């Protein structure tokens, strides 16, 4: 029998938890009440005991975040502890092992699974991780693979039930439409659950065909190198025959986070000098790759200006309560800036254009990307046709998108296709910055904090709320005249909001 | 007083190899040797001279017994034992000079004399003619090796009751050589004199020859040696042996409790060797030896005194030159801050009888004891074309593999040149190859190594080709 182990409710406000570590390996025999898993929630860590004795079948991996109630593993209660030895007594079976699990009835049909269309501008994606192993049996619609795109991570479900044959490996970059795997269509003679429990023999043998006893065995030279680096062979992926760890693997291996952390804290005694390492998220990986490529591949520079915010602040002061009352949304600065940018973009179309090798793509609309900071990193949802939206329309859209961003629920279309970006470092107190272009866009406006400064007005020094603004732009397609004029125009529109109304 | 990063006491294969490795790693190194020549037991009175005599005697034996069959008529053959011993001495001399050259080349200072600890950092060297000097050492490696064991009741006179050391320089071919001990040393030296015409009687306490090795090898070797004129007394305990004029009288009691008496003209004591630490001054640094005279060490081969290491025959484990060499390298690298590793289970054992015997990994006896499910693949040497061509048809290769994973767990060989062939098994096992892995590798034809491939095929699915 298969007993399902779920994440128990752990507290009123906790809806999801992260699996921090499995105390038992997949396939291990566990005793009832033995601790099998450690789980972290926002508030605390707790342990999950096995509710029955049997063979552990792990479904959710370490570092995965799962909702309360999710089944994290099953325990095969009919499997006994001495399975391996009873199996080896079975002499005649020795030479009869086949490479594919023999409980599957194949139909001969093979279905190819391709990278689906995930968004307008996305042409290629990276295989982040196969959640199913090569040669394993998958059900239709079961998630088999995680895919990273520039914008987000999405999951790839199986189109059919059968045996998975992986073609593109983890880390491979593939084009949309490329075949990433095949499914050898077939059904199991019985439900997979039953087949595992009824014949304790099949499970270990299937495992064997995928994983050799020798996997992770270091060569003598590799062993010495790993010892010296303080790395356990189990932390190294062997590239040799059947997963052996070669000398080259050992030379390339680096210390895992956990080990290093331990080392540091041990040495320093009472002084808390511990450092912490966390695995980089796919989003962070994408961000870092793209930012560096922008720096390298564009001729980016920044022009600055200052904006006297008093007129806008006066307008806001006067109407914000009424605005809020009427539209149930606050009147922020973003709507003024978005509006101002839309007008200026119409006048300086190069700032609203993409450079695509030998062609420049101009846009007659303004899809404004708004940089939103989330716990996992920066995302840039898009306000569509911002030029047509009212102040209220813009503010509502920002609230909606920012909310989704913080919950990590933005869809790829919602983040795709912006023509210009506004980022506001002012909310964190930035006085001045040089933002980085969000490709394939050509320019980005940076807003900053508003500070009371002495300001010359009509030959007199007065104190005014001033914001510095910055426009980073790709000099390859935007000339100085255009960029500077754009920014000056934005300044003009902001310092005299009446112009926004009249579009002059 | 000279100061060194490392001082090594003893220049056998463990000590001198450690010295070279230390020097390679940039450590200022000195080595101390008690005798006049470097190389220790192995080069002077062990592996090398015995091989020289084994090869000479094998040539004689082949000329006498096999040349006729090859179509070579020799007439009457005579042995010039003096020349044979002289050639052996020349081989030893050249090899020892080779070590001296290596010390010079690696800028290792050599001190001749008895090295002993004054304290943990000071070694005093008592040279010949009362010459005495002291050197300082940051680290010391004890590599003083071993000496033959003499059991009680035996009057070791070095003339007729002898050890391996004297057996390498006899003035005459014994008529009847009685050997106490059916281990490697006894059987190798027994082979030398058996080929030259001596009658050999082996008295062994255990129930079989080379008792540490797989019993299949014991059986095969016993058969071969019997053909050569060996006589065996197993489960027999020697009570006394002493010289009487030109004879040696040996008394012993067998498993039935009967007393037996043997008379020969020489008696070779070959019951093993014991760690040698005499005059080392261990008491001055607080290092003790166990009941078998061995120095206790930790997993880094360090004694209980930090900075003092011990390797080779003077510590636990098999008394083999190549084991000592690995330990020498291990300690040198450990001192240099590296983290080497020795897989002790994969140190091969070899016996230079003819056919040779070689073995690595677990024996069948060990696997049974560990309750490992294993399978056996065996292939006889006589089925090889190469063996028939050379008339070396005795022996077999036996491969033991895990029943489930097919991983090779032990390889046991007896046959021509198997002391060389065993290296293939060591490589395969270091990489944890399966029997089928080796069976699928091309082995040149016609060679003796084909027996390894065939034995692996036999172990894989019992599908040897030439059987």
A277-312 pLDDT tens trace: 777 776 777 778 888 888 888 999 999 999 999 999
Q: In the structure encoding, which two tokens stand for residue A155, read together?
A: 């999951």
At residue A435, the pLDDT reads: 93
* Statement: residue A79 has pLDDT above 50: yes
Q: Would you name the residues of B annotated as active-site residues?
A: 445
How far CA A10 is from CA of A44, A71, B405, in Å, comes to 9, 15, 44
Lowest mean pLDDT among A87-96, A165-174, B217-226, B323-332: A87-96
Q: Are A175 and A115 in contact (CB under 8 A)?
A: yes
Which amino acids of A are annotated catalytic?
475, 479
Across the interface, of A94, A214, A227, the residue whose CB is closest to B403 is A94
**Looking at the partner chain, which of B339, B373, B432 has a beta carbon nearest the beta carbon of A228?**
B339
Q: What is the pLDDT of residues A214-226, one digit of tens each?
A: 889 999 989 988 9
Chain A: residue whose CA lies nearest to B333: A224
The CATH architecture annotation of domain A220-268 reads Irregular (4.10)
Looking at residue A5, what is its pLDDT?
Answer: 85
pLDDT(A415) > 50: yes
How many CB atoms are located within 10 Å of the residue A92 CB?
Answer: 6
pLDDT band at A18 (very low <50, low <70, confident <90, very high): confident
Q: Which two tokens stand for residue A311?
A: 């007129």
- The tally of CA atoms less than 13 A away on the side-chain side of residue B95 is 23
The pLDDT value given to residue A11: 65
Q: How far apart are CA B11 and CA B32, in angstroms?
A: 7
- B296 — contact with chain A (CB < 8 Å)? no
List beta partners, residue A446: A423, A470
Query: Chain A: residue nearest B337 by CA?
Result: A228
Q: How far apart are CA B238 and CA A499, in angstroms?
A: 119
| Residue A94 clears pLDDT 50, i.e. is over it | no
Nearest CA in chain A to B432: A214
* Residue B430 in contact with partner chain A when CB distance is under 8 A: yes
Q: Do the chains contact at A213 and B432, CB–CB below 8 Å?
A: yes
| Chain B residue nearest residue A205, CA to CA | B404
Selected for mutation to probe chain B from A85, A93, A94 (highest B CB count within 10 Å) is A94
Contacts B334 to A, Cβ<8 Å:
none
CA of A28 to nearest chain B CA: how many angstroms apart?
18
Q: Scanning every residue of chain A, which has its alpha carbon at the shortest distance from the alpha carbon of B339? A: A228
A20, burial (CB in 10 Å: exposed 0-12, middle 13-18, buried 19+) = middle
B340, B373, B430: residue with CB nearest A224: B340
A2-81: CATH number: 2.40.50.100
Cβ distance of A88 and B339 shorter than 8 Å: no
The minimum CA-CA distance between B456 and chain A, rounded to whole Å, is 15
Condensed to tens digits (0 to 9), the pLDDT of residues A343-384 reads 999 999 999 999 888 889 999 999 999 998 887 677 889 999
| B403 close to A (CB below 8 A) | yes
Return the sign of the alpha-carbon dihedral for residues B44, B48, B52, B54: positive
Domains and CATH numbers, chain B: 3-148+274-342 (3.50.50.60), 161-271 (3.50.50.60), 346-461 (3.30.390.30)
Whether B405 sits inside 8 A of A212 (CB atoms) is: yes
Q: Where are the domains of chain A?
A: 2-81, 104-188, 220-268, 284-502
Q: With CB atoms and an 8 Å threshold, state whether B341 touches A224.
A: yes
Residue A247 or B410, more confident = B410
Contact: A88, B373; criterion CB under 8 Å: yes
Query: Which of the residue ranges A261-270, A424-433, B42-51, B365-374 would you say has the lowest mean pLDDT?
Result: A261-270
Q: How far is B395 from chain A (nearest CA, A)?
A: 29
Name the residue facing A88 among B339, B403, B432 (closest C-beta): B403
Nearest alpha carbon to residue B215 among B194, B193, B234: B234
The confidence score (pLDDT) of residue A120 equals 64
- Touching check for B338 and chain A: CB below 8 Å? yes
DSSP state, residue A96: -
The shortest C-alpha distance from A164 to chain B (Å) reads 25
Which of B332, B335, B370, B373 has the highest number of chain A CBs within 10 A, making it the mutation to test binding with A? B373
Q: Are strands A450-457 and A460-474 parallel, antiparallel or unpaired?
A: antiparallel
Residue A264: pLDDT over 60: no
Using the Cβ of B94 and the Cβ atoms of chain A, whether some distance falls under 8 Å is answered with no
CA distance A88 to chain B (A): 7
Smallest Cβ–Cβ distance between B339 and the set A84, A94, A224 belongs to A224
- Confidence bin at A2 (pLDDT 50/70/90): confident
How confident is the model at residue B218, as a pLDDT? 97
Query: Are B431 and A244 within 8 A, CB to CB?
Result: yes
CATH number of A104-188: 2.40.50.100
Q: Per the CB < 8 Å rule, is B431 touching A217? A: yes
Specify whether the CB–CB gap between A258 and A274 falls below 8 A: no
Give the pLDDT score at A81: 55
Query: B374 to chain A: which residues are within 8 Å by CB?
Result: none
The secondary element (H helix, E strand) that includes residue A446 is: strand A443-447
User: What fold, for A284-502?
Assistant: Chloramphenicol Acetyltransferase (3.30.559)
Please answer yes or no on whether B461 and A95 come within 8 Å at the CB atom: yes
Q: Which of B341, B347, B401, B441 to mutate to test the interface with A (most CBs of A within 10 A)?
A: B341
Give the integer Cα–Cα distance in Å for A421 and A369. 4
Of A88, A208, A217, Cβ closest to residue B432: A217
Distance between CA atoms of residues B174 and B157, nearest Å: 16
Reading chain B (467 residues) residue by residue, the pLDDT tens digits are: 899 999 999 999 999 999 999 999 999 999 999 999 999 999 999 999 999 999 999 999 999 999 999 999 999 999 999 999 999 999 999 999 999 999 999 999 999 999 999 999 999 999 988 889 999 999 999 999 999 999 999 999 999 999 999 999 999 999 999 999 999 999 999 999 999 999 999 999 999 999 999 999 999 999 999 999 999 999 999 999 999 999 999 999 998 989 999 999 999 999 999 999 999 999 999 999 998 899 999 999 999 999 999 999 999 999 999 999 999 999 999 999 999 999 999 999 999 999 999 999 999 999 999 999 999 999 999 999 999 999 999 999 999 999 999 999 999 999 999 999 999 999 999 999 999 999 999 999 999 999 999 999 999 989 999 98
Same CATH fold assignment for domains A2-81 and A220-268? no
- How close B405 comes to chain A (CA, Å)? 7
Selected for mutation to probe chain B from A83, A84, A86, A88 (highest B CB count within 10 Å) is A88
Q: Which residues of B touch A217 (CB under 8 A)?
A: 431-432
Pairing mode, strands B146-148 and B273-275: antiparallel
Helices (H), B200-287: 215-227
Burial annotation A403-418 (CB, 10 A radius, 16+ → b, else e): ebbeeeebebebbbbb
Mean pLDDT over residues A242-267, rounded? 68
pLDDT of residue B213: 96
User: Could A220 and B341 be called an inter-chain contact, meaning their C-beta atoms sit closer than 8 Å?
Assistant: yes
| Residue range A157-168: mean pLDDT, rounded | 86
For the ranges A14-28, A270-284, A416-430, the lowest mean pLDDT is seen at A270-284
Residue A236 C-alpha, separation from nearest chain B C-alpha, in angstroms: 16
Percentage of chain A beyond pLDDT 70 is: 83
Contacts of A270 (CB under 8 A, 6+ apart): none
Locate A210 and state its tokens: 């995928």
Omega before B355 cis (within 30°)? Answer: yes
Contact B430 A213 (CB under 8 A): no
Residue B283 distance to chain A (closest CA, Å)? 34
Predicted pLDDT of residue A32:
81
A219 vs B404, B431, B461: nearest CB: B431
Looking at residue B20, its pLDDT comes to 98
Task: Please give the structure tokens belonging to residue A237.
Answer: 């992926």
**What distance in Å separates residue B145's CA from the closest CA in chain A?**
26
Give the residue from B404, B458, B463 with the most A CB atoms within 10 Å of its CB, the best one to mutate. Answer: B404
CB atoms within 10 A of CB B423: 13
Phi, psi dihedrals of residue A35, rounded to the nearest 5°: -75, 125
pLDDT digits (tens, 9 = 90+) for A303-350: 999 999 999 999 999 998 999 999 989 998 999 999 999 999 999 999
Is any Cβ of chain A less than 8 angstroms from the Cβ of B440?
Answer: no
Q: Name every residue in A having a CB less than 8 A away from some CB of B.
A: 84, 88, 94-95, 208, 212-214, 217, 219-220, 223-224, 227-228, 241, 244
């Amino acid at each position: 029998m298969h007993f399902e182990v779920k994440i128990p409710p752990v507290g009123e406000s906790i809806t999801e938890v992260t699996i921090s570590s499995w105390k038992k390996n997949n396939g291990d025999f566990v005793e009832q009440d033995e601790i099998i898993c450690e789980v972290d929630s926002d508030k605390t860590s707790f342990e999950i005991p096995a509710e029955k004795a049997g063979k552990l079948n792990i479904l959710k991996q370490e570092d995965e975040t799962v909702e309360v109630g999710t089944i994290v593993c099953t325990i095969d209660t009919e499997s006994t502890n001495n399975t391996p030895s009873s199996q080896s007594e079975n002499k005649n079976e020795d030479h009869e092992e086949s490479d594919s699990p023999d409980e599957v009835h194949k139909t001969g049909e093979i279905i190819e699974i391709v990278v689906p269309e995930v968004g307008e501008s996305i042409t290629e994606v990276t295989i982040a991780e196969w959640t199913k192993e090569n040669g394993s049996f998958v059900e239709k619609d079961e998630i088999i693979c995680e895919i990273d795109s520039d914008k987000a991570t999405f999951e790839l479900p199986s189109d059919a039930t059968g045996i998975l044959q992986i073609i593109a490996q983890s880390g491979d970059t593939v084009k949309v439409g490329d075949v990433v795997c095949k499914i050898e269509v077939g059904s199991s003679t019985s439900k997979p659950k039953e087949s595992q429990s009824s014949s304790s023999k099949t499970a270990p043998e299937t495992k064997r065909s995928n994983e050799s006893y020798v996997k992770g065995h270091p060569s003598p030279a590799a062993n010495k190198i790993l010892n010296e680096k303080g790395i356990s062979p189990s932390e190294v992926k062997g590239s040799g025959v059947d997963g052996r760890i070669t000398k080259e693997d050992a030379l390339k291996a680096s210390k895992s986070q956990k080990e290093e952390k331990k080392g540091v804290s041990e040495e320093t005694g009472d002084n808390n000098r511990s450092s912490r390492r966390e695995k980089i998220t796919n989003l962070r990986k994408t961000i870092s790759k793209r930012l560096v490529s922008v720096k390298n591949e564009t001729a980016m520079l920044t022009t600055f200006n200052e904006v006297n915010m008093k007129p806008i602040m006066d307008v806001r002061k006067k109407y914000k309560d009424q605005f809020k009352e009427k539209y149930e949304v606050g009147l922020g600065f973003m709507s003024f800036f978005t509006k101002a940018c839309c007008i200026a973009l119409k006048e300086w179309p190069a700032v609203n254009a993409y450079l695509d090798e030998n062609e420049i793509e101009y846009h007659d609309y303004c899809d404004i990307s708004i940089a939103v900071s989330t716990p996992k990193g920066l995302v840039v949802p898009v306000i569509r046709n911002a030029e047509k939206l009212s102040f209220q329309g813009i503010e509502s859209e920002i609230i909606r998108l920012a909310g989704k961003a913080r919950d990590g629920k933005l869809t790829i279309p919602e983040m795709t296709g912006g023509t210009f970006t506004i980022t506001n470092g002012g909310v964190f107190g930035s006085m001045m910055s040089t933002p980085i272009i969000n490709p394939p866009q050509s320019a980005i406006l940076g807003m900053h904090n508003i500070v009371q400064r002495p300001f010359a007005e009509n030959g007199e020094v007065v104190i005014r709320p001033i914001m510095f603004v910055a426009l980073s732009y790709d000099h390859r397609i935007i000339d100085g005249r255009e960029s500077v004029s754009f920014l000056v125009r934005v300044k003009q529109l902001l310092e005299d909001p009446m112009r926004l109304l009249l579009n002059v | 007083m000279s100061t060194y990063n490392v001082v090594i006491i003893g220049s056998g294969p463990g000590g001198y190899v450690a010295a070279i490795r230390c020097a390679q790693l940039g450590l200022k190194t000195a080595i101390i040797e008690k005798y006049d020549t470097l190389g220790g037991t192995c080069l002077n009175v062990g592996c090398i001279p015995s091989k020289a005599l084994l090869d000479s005697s094998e040539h004689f034996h082949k000329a006498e017994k096999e040349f006729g069959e090859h179509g070579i008529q020799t007439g009457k053959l005579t042995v010039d034992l003096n020349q044979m011993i002289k050639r052996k001495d020349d081989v030893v001399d050249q090899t020892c000079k080779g070590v001296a050259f290596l010390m010079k080349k690696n800028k290792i200072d050599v001190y001749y004399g008895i090295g002993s600890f004054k304290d943990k950092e000071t070694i005093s060297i008592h040279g010949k003619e009362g010459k005495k000097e002291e050197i300082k050492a940051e680290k010391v490696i004890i590599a003083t090796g071993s000496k033959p064991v003499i059991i009680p009741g035996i009057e070791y006179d070095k003339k007729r009751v002898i050890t391996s050391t004297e057996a390498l320089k006899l003035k005459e071919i014994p008529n009847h050589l009685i050997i106490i001990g059916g281990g490697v040393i006894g059987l190798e030296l027994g082979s030398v004199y058996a080929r030259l015409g001596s009658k050999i009687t082996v008295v062994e306490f255990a129930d079989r020859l080379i008792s540490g090795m797989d019993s299949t090898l014991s059986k095969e070797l016993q058969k071969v040696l019997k053909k050569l004129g060996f006589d065996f007394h197993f489960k027999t305990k020697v009570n006394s042996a002493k010289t009487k004029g030109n004879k040696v009288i040996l008394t012993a009691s067998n498993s039935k409790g009967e007393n037996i008496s043997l008379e020969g003209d020489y008696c070779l004591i070959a019951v093993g060797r014991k760690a040698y630490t005499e005059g080392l001054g261990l008491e001055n640094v607080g290092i003790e030896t166990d009941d078998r005279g061995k120095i206790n060490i930790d997993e880094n081969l360090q004694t209980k005194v930090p900075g003092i290491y011990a390797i080779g025959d003077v510590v636990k484990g098999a008394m083999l030159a190549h084991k000592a060499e690995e330990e020498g390298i291990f300690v040198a690298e450990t001192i240099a801050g590296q983290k080497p590793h020795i897989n002790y289970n994969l140190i091969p054992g070899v016996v230079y009888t003819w056919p040779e015997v070689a073995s690595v990994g677990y024996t069948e006896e060990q696997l049974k004891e560990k309750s490992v499910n294993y399978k056996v693949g065996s292939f006889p040497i006589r089925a090889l074309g190469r063996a028939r061509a050379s008339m070396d048809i005795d022996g077999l290769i036996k491969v033991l593999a895990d029943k489930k994973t097919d991983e090779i767990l032990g390889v046991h060989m007896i046959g021509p040149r198997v002391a060389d062939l065993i290296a293939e098994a060591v490589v395969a096992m270091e990489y944890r190859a399966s029997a089928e892995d080796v069976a699928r590798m091309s082995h040149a034809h016609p060679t003796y190594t084909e027996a390894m491939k065939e034995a692996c095929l036999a172990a894989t699915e019992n599908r040897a080709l030439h059987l």
